[in-house]
């Protein structure tokens, strides 16, 4: 973790360091020019130094701005390092998170979708990693969360390859006005990665921003996406079905 944090700090400070070096070079050049002109000025007609004073003031302001940016970058780097350290505690834990991408593994992929209002029609569409639609079926129309288990088969009954797939939920009321929905996935955290935007936790090969995690469970209370179920008291629905969640 220290190596990750150090690498992040080095990357974050590079821009400010380069700006500081450039600023220092320009300032040294400015002072040399000022000194040379002062030495060679006509004593009977001394030069007007107002412009130099103004430029000196501007240099000072820019230097202070660069230092402020450098301090902010260091704070952001420390914040990301702290977030990544916290994310390590998620390893081996079951999580539920907002997200529409999940892994099809051993012929099973599970999502939960939540409707903000009752719909007249709801469609569930599965896309592969290239955006190609491979499966479509009607979804639940009542308000609230609903679980959807996909068995990995397209509408012709052909088994799709394991990999990453996206669930697209389309819901509309009787007038055809779209109804908002949110999609969630769940599983066991297998790895953690530090990213410029923050910590990323992984369920198999699916990366989830740490801020998208809404619930943490012990592994004994959550089924994994692979179909190898951990101990649980909840009855799981059949594959390729949807069910209401209370």
**Phi-psi category of residue 6: left, alpha or beta, with phi > 0 → left and psi -120 to 50 → alpha:** alpha
- Residues 43, 155 within the same domain: no
Identify whether residues 134 and 226 lie together within a single domain: yes
Token output for 87: 């994310």
CATH of the domain at 168: 2.60.40.4070
Query: Is residue 33 domain-shared with residue 111, that is, in the same domain?
Result: no
Mean pLDDT of 185-197: 86
pLDDT of residue 41: 67
Same domain, 107 and 214: yes
- State the average pLDDT over residues 22-42: 66
The pLDDT value recorded for residue 160 is: 96
Residues 218, 127 within the same domain: yes
Report H helices in 41-157. Answer: 50-87
**Distance (Å, whole) CA 168 – CA 75:** 38
Contacts of 211 (CB under 8 A, 6+ apart): 198
The reply to whether 123 and 70 lie within a common domain is no
Range of the domain at 102: 94-244
pLDDT band at 6 (very low <50, low <70, confident <90, very high): very low
Residue 71: pLDDT over 70? no
- Which comes out higher in pLDDT, residue 225 or 189? 189
Percentage of residues in the chain with pLDDT exceeding 70? 57
Residues 66 and 142 in one domain: no
Question: Of 25, 56, 89, which marks where a domain is finished?
Answer: 89
Residue 45 pLDDT exceeds 80 = no
What distance in Å separates the CA atoms of residue 71 and residue 94, rounded to the nearest whole number? 36
State the chain's mean pLDDT as an integer.
76
Whether residues 154 and 195 share a domain: the answer is yes
pLDDT band at 227 (very low <50, low <70, confident <90, very high): very low
Instruction: Examine the domain organization and report whether 201 and 146 are in the same domain.
Output: yes
Domain finish residue from 30, 57, 89: 89
Q: Tell me, yes or no, whether 82 and 126 share the same domain.
A: no
Please calculate the CA angle 211-110-158 and round it to the nearest 5 degrees. 135
Residues 136 and 33 in one domain: no
Residue ending a domain, choose from 35, 58, 89: 89
Q: Are residues 98 and 51 in the same domain?
A: no
> What total of structural domains would you count in the chain?
2
Q: Whole-model pTM?
A: 0.60
Q: How far is CA 175 from CA 74, 119, 141, 171, in A?
A: 52, 10, 14, 11
């Amino acid at each position: 973790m220290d190596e990750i944090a150090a690498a992040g700090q080095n990357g974050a400070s590079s821009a400010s360091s380069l700006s500081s070096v450039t600023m220092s070079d320009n300032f040294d050049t400015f002072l040399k020019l000022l000194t040379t002109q002062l030495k060679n000025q006509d004593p009977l007609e001394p030069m007007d130094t107002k412009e130099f004073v103004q430029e000196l003031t501007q240099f000072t302001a820019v230097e202070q701005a660069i230092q402020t940016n450098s301090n902010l970058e260091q704070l952001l780097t420390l914040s990301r390092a702290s977030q990544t350290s916290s994310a390590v505690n998620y390893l081996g834990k079951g999580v539920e998170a907002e997200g529409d991408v999940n892994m099809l593994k051993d012929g099973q992929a599970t999502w939960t979708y939540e409707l903000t209002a009752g719909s007249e029609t709801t469609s569930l569409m599965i896309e592969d990693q290239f955006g190609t639609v491979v499966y479509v079926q009607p979804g639940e129309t009542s308000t609230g969360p609903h679980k959807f288990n996909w068995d990995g088969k397209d509408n012709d009954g052909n088994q799709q390859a394991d990999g990453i797939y996206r669930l697209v939920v389309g819901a509309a009321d009787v007038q055809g006005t779209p109804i908002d929905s949110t999609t969630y996935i769940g599983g066991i955290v297998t790895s953690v990665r530090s990213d410029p935007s923050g910590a990323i936790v992984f369920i198999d090969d699916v990366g989830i921003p740490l801020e998208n995690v809404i619930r943490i469970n012990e592994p004994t209370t959550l089924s994994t996406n692979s179909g190898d179920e951990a101990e649980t008291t909840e009855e799981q629905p059949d594959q390729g079905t949807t069910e209401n969640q209370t």
